[in-house]
Structure 1
């Protein structure tokens, strides 16, 4: 039954995408070009190629395509998905404008006698002439003159061009933000049980890097350089580091070896690690000098640092185990938990965690995706309190799918712990 529902859902999404693409083709290609002309043929070819590339980008990795092929289709395919979102939104806004524009300035229909005269090629002396309908203008099949047809093409080109400019500008700016690298965000979190000696302890939180066919070694190096400049006491990578195998992405992850923090660098799995071979990545990040926390706890001088596997690991029998990570600890000590998904916050509350550090949501990544993310996550971005536990959710340092962020800029967050006793 579950498989049937998945098939039905996928079919419905594909059907919707097909309808949206056809609508955009009508408005942006058919309505703006001459029938049979080279512009229409070129526009139609592009309208077919882009969704094919997008589909290829989405399935290439799962289908076992060579990594070079994944990279070839990823850039145009994923970027088109982002453009498609904002182009469809812009064209939806343009639809009522188009209707009002054409209705307000529509050429008046010719009188029967005048229309007959126009078809004969001459107008009677009694038939009034208007600038919109010069004598000799051929009527279209719906009685609309050539001037009316020209007007429709003009309106289609103006509105279509404006929509393309808006969508292209939005996506271009969002892609620049991702490729430029994440900005540093600083947040102070007061913790009741934190001793004065730990006041000002700084944790650099890195989430959702998403190394893959689009974001590679250069992106990792930008993140490492940014983190090291903050001179943190501890580095926490809270999942979704990669989208692919160690074989393909090992070189892209290599700069992680250069991370520097007085108390080390730690890693917990995200859901995408379980799509990419979680155990091979746990082993590999250990080789790079990071300490994986697999449902485990590490006692620092003034607080406990714990980490749990991502909930996606339940599909492999390696899901989060809060009892193993936190069950026998001294609850008079502050506990900081690394957990990829914010949804486990209620388990953290039950186990007396003082601060949970998470990612996963990307802050919605592409507006208005933040409203969708709110439906599935207790907190989409920022710091919130749940009982005696505080939850901080990073927007992430990379991007999944389209290397584009709109309304949710990427970040590396330096969380500064504060003691009430200081």
Structure 2
């Protein structure tokens, strides 16, 4: 099944690249030898770019040197974002193409019908004997301007390319600016009056790796510390690489500050990178991993469970261990990377689950795809007596681009019903 899936994925990728080549290169190339050179150059570019993208994805797991991973990552990942929006723009342009061609086709006839007759027709020019014998009409002189189909193709391809590049540039700038801060108040049942207004800074999906490094970590740390939270919760997918490669990139995490501490739960990407070394490294940096564990905070229980991605490594979530013996008369907050873990949280009587994982879709219309796999894509929703808050995340996976899903950290303010 995996082989079939990969084969179908490559066939789809090839079909999309052929379509882009057809509309952007072949249909816009000038006639003659120059056009042949343009088509060959376009074919070469649309062969190299997807190879860079595939190489960027496999380089980490294949053990490429980290410097090579960085070289491959920027062009490889950015091309995927450009390809997405270029394809969408070209498909939208297909709706306009027949209208523009029909309109331009009518214009010459309309011009001929309204043009004044300035002179009487002359006698036909003599025809060469060879032309008369073959029955072929004499060649018409070159007008110097491209045909209407070429003009329309160039206009549509140029507009689509500009729209795609502009969208990706905007989305990249959004990521590199760092996350914005959002605030949400969550009434939490059983929370005592003394804990009313307790503030948790929730950050997820930082995705340190070949693209986002130390400068990005520092932006996130500065944004979190600026909120002066009572507690910091990092809910998974912190890294896309090994401790050896990303030791320096993670160093600014040491400066996270909160009165009641900094806590961490694993995401699925920690298991791809090697969870055990990272958990040890995070302890050195002052974060407290909650591995199917629980601590008592002022007025409520804070629990954390491993990500479901850890099941393949014998380190999956264990809700009974984290929550089974707790005093249910106390308020509870659960840190769990994936929103799908909400159903177990409901069964264990959790008051509030804090999650990430979805990126809010990251690249529109990815939010529609994310909604198929997650009960909540972003924001606050209620499931029975349990509330779920999903942050869009502070980084980006794959392309360092966000469109329609700005990166964020969230300050969750807990409210007591007795206040």
1:196 equivalent in alignment to 2:199: no
Matched position secondary structure for 1:106: helix
Name the Cα RMSD after superposition: 2.3
TM-score by length of 1: 0.90
Report how far residue 106 of structure 1 moved: 3.0
Tell me if structure 2 keeps the 8 A contact 1:191–1:417.
yes
1:137 equivalent in alignment to 2:140: yes
Matched position secondary structure for 2:412: strand
TM-score by length of 2: 0.90
Runs of at least 4 residues of structure 1 off by over 6 A? 117-121, 145-148
1:289 equivalent in alignment to 2:280: no
Matched position secondary structure for 1:345: helix
Per-residue deviation, residues 223-255 of structure 1 (Å, max 9, x unmatched)? 000000000000000000000100001110000
Match in the other structure for 2:29: 33
The CA distance in 1 between the partners of 2:232 and 2:360, in whole Å, is 21
| Residues 193, 120 of structure 1: alpha-carbon distance in 2 compared, 3 angstrom cutoff | farther
After superposition, residues 351-362 of structure 1 pair within 5 angstroms as 351-362=348-359
Higher alpha-carbon deviation: 42-51 or 152-161? 42-51
Match in the other structure for 2:92: 93
| Residues 31, 227 of structure 1: alpha-carbon distance in 2 compared, 3 angstrom cutoff | same
| Residues 36, 212 of structure 1: alpha-carbon distance in 2 compared, 3 angstrom cutoff | farther
Unaligned runs of 5+ in 1: 110-116, 125-134, 139-144
Match in the other structure for 1:208: 205
Unaligned runs of 5+ in 2: 110-124, 133-137
- How many residues are matched? 396
1:75 equivalent in alignment to 2:74: yes
Tell me if structure 2 keeps the 8 A contact 1:307–1:339.
yes
Match in the other structure for 2:163: 166
Residue number among 17, 20, 24 corresponding to 2:20 in the alignment: 24
Tell me if structure 2 keeps the 8 A contact 1:118–1:136.
no
Report how far residue 50 of structure 1 moved: 1.1
Report how far residue 259 of structure 1 moved: 0.2
Residue number among 202, 218, 221 corresponding to 2:218 in the alignment: 221
| Residues 321, 159 of structure 1: alpha-carbon distance in 2 compared, 3 angstrom cutoff | same
Match in the other structure for 1:245: 242
The CA distance in 2 between the partners of 1:59 and 1:150, in whole Å, is 44
| Residues 54, 36 of structure 1: alpha-carbon distance in 2 compared, 3 angstrom cutoff | farther
Higher alpha-carbon deviation: 357-366 or 90-99? 90-99
